[in-house]
Structure 1
Amino acid sequence: MDISQALALIRPIPDFPKPGILFQDISPLLANPEAFATVISALAAVADEIDYVAALDARGFILGSAVALEMKVGFIPIRKSGKLPYTTFSRSYSLEYGQDELEIHTDAMEPGSRVLLIDDVLATGGTLKAAILLIQDLGAVVVSAAVLLEIPELAGRASIAKLDSAPPVFSLSLK
């Protein structure tokens, strides 16, 4: 199975979680082991010589943990506010349909660590930007960010590019 066949399994759901949002449901892709393996291999090919894969709550966890296993590196969860049990750094961000906050453990990785950041969708860029800044708060470097889908009309890539140390952003597909 090639990447376009795998990504074709993603199902658009109109008006979820609220009217006007076209949600991209990755569940059918995840349920197909060949498609899932294809996507994980493609995401893992985005970076080499990394120490960790970090991924975003919640669907990014599914992808990021599998990529970390494939690359034989550690996995770092970046969670929504109030979900981590230890001391955290936090960053608030805007998303397509509201405002939220992300957190990372203050001891999640060592300064100088090289990180591949994974999420499912790049929309406005708020979530990825907050995650990049959190990783930088730890003194680590995001060498690349990778997503399954990008929604270009929401200009997330341009928003991330405004960061002083913006990593390259890779998308397996533009939607």
Structure 2
Amino acid sequence: MIYDEISIKSLIRPVPDFPRPGVIFRDITPLFQSPRILRLVADSFIQRYVETDFSHIGAMDARGFLIGSIIAYELNKPLILFRKQGKLPADVLSEGYQTEYGEALLEVHSDSLCEGDKVLIFDDLIATGGTLMAAARLVRRMGASVFEAAAIIDLPELGGSQRLEDAGIPTFSLTAFSLAER
């Protein structure tokens, strides 16, 4: 792997008490302010997936879109957008899920995938795994399968990556943070 985990991790800004007291939000926006690090992040995923056998990239609303679209472009794969409720204009499939902050609804256009498609689902962060699990259920409802779940950051103590693995979905992240890390 070509990435420099220390450089990537150093640019992920911890924001204490956001969006609620006691939570340390992992802000990836500084990665986009460093062209060198953004290229490292994108190239790391591209190198991992360049010779793998999947058909689509599914990116989660909204930060998953940022890197997911770059990867889809570079690997010449169709990009599927998984959006928050009410953001897609055509017929959708919906799936409810639990987040670390409450309940939410994820939607995808109902004609996004076909039977036999294999999807790399991508988000900026794996916390409880709720968003990626909801996306996986939507993928399966369209007759497709999940190739892998990928993210820039994993928060393993929240159990999301283990939950995905237990559901038969391999996971990959560039870096991980413990809940105690500032």
Fold agreement, TM-score > 0.5: yes
Q: Which amino acid aligns with 1:134?
A: L
Q: Please state how far the C-alpha of 1:98 moved relative to its aligned partner.
A: 1.1
Q: Please state how far the C-alpha of 1:100 moved relative to its aligned partner.
A: 0.4
- State the identity as a percent: 41
Matches within 5 A, 1:128-167: 128-163=132-167, 166-167=168-169
What is the match of residue 42 of structure 1?
A: 44
Q: Please state how far the C-alpha of 1:144 moved relative to its aligned partner.
A: 0.9
- Aligned equivalent of 1:75, options 64, 79, 93: 79
Structure 2 residues without counterparts, runs of 5 or longer:
178-182
Structure 1 residues without counterparts, runs of 5 or longer:
none
What is the match of residue 93 of structure 2?
A: 89
Q: How many residues align?
A: 173
* Structure 1 consecutive aligned stretches of length 4 or more whose deviation exceeds 6 Å: none
Query: Does the 8 Å contact 1:46/1:144 carry over to 2?
Result: no
What is the match of residue 127 of structure 2?
A: 123
Residues 91-115 of structure 1 show CA distances to partners (whole Å, capped at 9, x for unaligned) of 1111111110100111012211111
What's the Cα RMSD here? 1.3
The normalised TM-score by structure 2 is: 0.90
- Confirm whether residue 66 of structure 1 aligns to residue 70 of structure 2: yes
Q: Please state how far the C-alpha of 1:54 moved relative to its aligned partner.
A: 0.6
